[in-house]
Structure 1
């Protein structure tokens, strides 16, 4: 029975530009990447970081993140791709959906760490700058699940229930029309995560990874709750979905890391790397450079005067018949 009000399912999730398929899922992922980078860049430059340096870091982090997201999904849902009647080549078809956020963040962090080592910038400072941007990217990514009509919760008659087409309903749920829109729950939760990070930063200086650890703790707290609502087929361990266990473990680790960082490294690290790309130095910078040049000239003149003063006695000694080599050795 159809409820009076609900969130309609998308009419389609792919469009064709000639022979080229344009998939909504891919567009959502790309939009999330750009939005997350935009927010992270603003925060990085505001702290004195170089925009080109951050762009280089993202050049490493984004591919690592996408590959890691797919690897995590394939490993944790291997039965979908391997075994009798399955097609292993489908594991490469990322456009069909199937990205694990844990793999995305983990491998993305690995790529960023490598790039930070190359650029000689503190990795945790980059993680802090990007923390709310990661949450923003996830919001866009969840709308990709909406277009794919996947990863929804159990049946509901609430007005905000999500309509799911018959061919997308899991076995045993064919008679239910609307389900909990867990994609929307997580998107709203991530908005709260972003707000939390920004509000806490107004009162405290979150440095040395604390903004990132706060993101991980806040996100995983919500993810454990939302994950428990979903009805898609996944692996379980001790009665809980594998992703719930992952969220719990990461939550504990993030809280511990936050406390240790706050006690050992209060305040923020210095990440100043000069003007960002495209920025014009302030008018004070040329004057400062000129002042330094004048100071250097004055120092040189003083040194020359000292040398001249020291040479005068030597000449006097030489005129009295003393060894003139002593003056040259001085």
Structure 2
């Protein structure tokens, strides 16, 4: 068993004001994504004004936050938020859903691109290549916060997490960091040029691979206590990720067929 490296959840604390690792991780992820998308645009000689790209991220991030919160309320704790609807706006109480956030981010990006007459699928493909950076760093933030830990186990690298009882558990946040962050980014970045002319293909591939990796890690991650296992076999994360894979496979098929006809 490995000792859990207790790290303060904040980098700087000035009275009631804190700069927390979790938020900093996502900020680094968004900034990295922005500059890597600019790099891809320049490399492909595609001109989009910096102001438009910045506003695209504003719409996308706003949609992500709203979608993540509503997704959590709908998918993970519907009964509670139905009885306490105002709590859905209390984001400081925690509770965000990646799947809801993805829907919100795509919706926000689509609305902006439509208003500006920008090729949505082209930009979506470029952004999707960079998303694993934020995902991976976000999982490091979860690890520092000692949240979303894994199931009880006796593997040599198990850890006892604060708030997770006295039994050792899988450090599933690190599994997600590796698969959803390092591995997924490596695959997407490596294949981006091959699929760059197939609009929507990279986005679809991202959706498929994330779904596969998320389903895999969910076998080691502690199920949400208010839901447990659905029908005794699947977690909510696995169910939603299965839908993601189907949607991604359909999108990839459509994209490849459209390219073949062109």
Per the normalisation by structure 2, the TM-score is 0.86
Q: Hey, what's the Cα distance between the residues in 1 that align with 2:261 and 2:102?
A: 25
Q: Hey, what's the Cα distance between the residues in 1 that align with 2:130 and 2:261?
A: 21
Matched with 2:170 is: 180
Alpha-carbon distance change, 39 to 113 in structure 1, aligned in 2, over 3 angstroms: same
Q: Is 1:127–1:209's contact at 8 Å kept on the other side of the alignment?
A: yes
1:237 aligns with 2:230: yes
1:16 to 13, 16, 21: 13
Q: Is 1:207–1:266's contact at 8 Å kept on the other side of the alignment?
A: no
Q: Which moved more, 1:224-233 or 1:212-221?
A: 224-233
Matched with 2:48 is: 50
Residue 96 of structure 1 deviates from its aligned partner by 4.5
Alpha-carbon distance change, 215 to 58 in structure 1, aligned in 2, over 3 angstroms: same
Structure 1, gaps ≥5 residues long: 269-330
What does 1:132-151 align with in structure 2 at a 5 Å threshold? 132-151=129-148
Structure 2, gaps ≥5 residues long: none
Larger Rg: 1
Q: Hey, what's the Cα distance between the residues in 2 that align with 1:116 and 1:143?
A: 32
Alpha-carbon distance change, 26 to 186 in structure 1, aligned in 2, over 3 angstroms: same
Residue 249 of structure 1 deviates from its aligned partner by 1.2
1:217 aligns with 2:220: no
Q: Hey, what's the Cα distance between the residues in 2 that align with 1:76 and 1:28?
A: 25
Q: Hey, what's the Cα distance between the residues in 2 that align with 1:91 and 1:226?
A: 27
Q: Hey, what's the Cα distance between the residues in 1 that align with 2:219 and 2:116?
A: 41
Q: Is 1:29–1:137's contact at 8 Å kept on the other side of the alignment?
A: yes
CA RMSD of aligned residues (A): 2.6
Q: Hey, what's the Cα distance between the residues in 2 that align with 1:10 and 1:90?
A: 29
Q: Hey, what's the Cα distance between the residues in 1 that align with 2:47 and 2:160?
A: 45
1:251 aligns with 2:245: yes
